[in-house]
Amino acid sequence: MSAMKKIEEVTVKDDEPMSRHTSWRAGGVARHYVQAQSLTALASYIAALDKDEDILWLGLGSNLLVRDGGFDGTVIATQGVMTQLAIVDESGIDDATVYVGAGIASAKLARFCSKHGLVGAEFFAGIPGLVGGALAMNAGAFGGETWSLVIEVETMNRQGEIKRRAASEFEYGYRSVKGLADEWFVSATLRLKKKPVAGNTVDIKQLLAKRAASQPTGVASCGSVFWNPEGHYAAQLIENCQLKGKRIGGAVVSQKHANFIINDNDATAEDIESLILLVQKTVKDETGILLHPEVKIVGNSRSGDSQR
């Protein structure tokens, strides 16, 4: 069992199983797992950490695999903090700006904008994570991408300082964001269009129904495992290689959508990572195309390989 202690509005659990906090429901323990009651408390805690401590910010764990040997560092749980969500300027004729904390669920942001007559954030309903994670990887769904809406962000550095950064300070593309080292997203300000008086807008329920029809839901997965290579769909490449239903241990390639790997029967992180590598190798051997994982893989294997 993990040990737990309280430090000035911060709860720290030692040796916390990350299988409890990732959507794959697999993986080893984190040496320290931190939950703060406020951003101020979290900033103070991070500032006091050793400068060489490995830090991993965690949202809903929907795009993360922690190897079975665990994460030898500090995991920062962002759910429950950084939860501000408000319209900050709607004086424009055609658009408005929204301030959203990194700890807000992406689906909640989509519903908030729709409720307030703002258009452009509907795609967030299809992202199974928090806004912080969406910012970190330029997450997208249904043809929309996070950074197409970003005006500026707030970040926290290792000294616990909050910095305001313009979107222009970052390089972003398909499922990637390059920014400043050792800074983590705290919030974002987004520009959205106001709903026109006449004309239909995208219906969130219809988008979710479309996703449920084509993707496995209600199962232990991370969502899409691989980026789509330019000019191709990862799922189609995997399916063409006859890999639907391919299994290693408790991990299996979904029969419904080939770009999903499911924890079907108490899979270990090693089962899942081995299946990822097998899919990569098979697709590369048969098509010449190398698939790149969207999922972040961290920690040590049972044999003691170093973290990455």
Place of tokens 């709607």: 90
Decide: 201 and 176 in contact? Cβ < 8 Å. no
51-72: per-residue pLDDT in tens? 999 999 999 999 999 999 999 9
Q: What is the pLDDT of residue 303?
A: 56
Residue pair 55/76 in contact (Cβ under 8 Å)? The answer is yes
Give Cβ neighbours of residue 205 (< 8 Å, ≥ 6 apart). none
Catalytic residue (one of 224, 254, 270, 273) = 224
224 noted as active-site residue: yes
Is the per-residue pLDDT at 308 higher than 60?
no
Residues 226 and 234: their CA atoms lie apart, in Å, by 6
- Could you tell me the pLDDT band of residue 215, with boundaries at 50, 70 and 90? confident
Q: Which of 19, 23, 154, 175 is an active site residue?
A: 175
Residue 31 designated active-site: no
How confident is the model over 226-233, as a mean pLDDT?
94
User: Residue 175 catalytic?
Assistant: yes
Please give the pLDDT value at position 200.
Answer: 43
> What's the mean pLDDT when you consider all of the chain?
91
Higher pLDDT, 217 or 120: 120
Question: What confidence tier does 285 reach under pLDDT thresholds 50, 70, 90?
Answer: very high
SS3 170: coil
> Residues near 213 by Cβ (< 8 Å), separated by ≥ 6?
none
Sort 111 into a burial class: Cβ within 10 Å, 0-12 / 13-18 / 19+: middle
Phi, psi of 170 (to 5 degrees): -120, 150
Please report which confidence band the pLDDT of residue 284 belongs to, taking 50, 70 and 90 as the band edges: very high
Query: What tokens appear for 14 in the block?
Result: 């030692």
Rounded to whole angstroms, the Cα distance separating 34 from 51 reads 17
The domains located in the chain, with CATH, are: 7-77 (3.30.43.10), 85-194 (3.30.465.10), 204-298 (3.90.78.10)
Given this model, what pLDDT does residue 35 score? 96
pTM over 0.85: yes
Residue 205: the pLDDT is 81
261-263/296-298 β-pairing? unpaired
Beta bridge partners of 130: 105
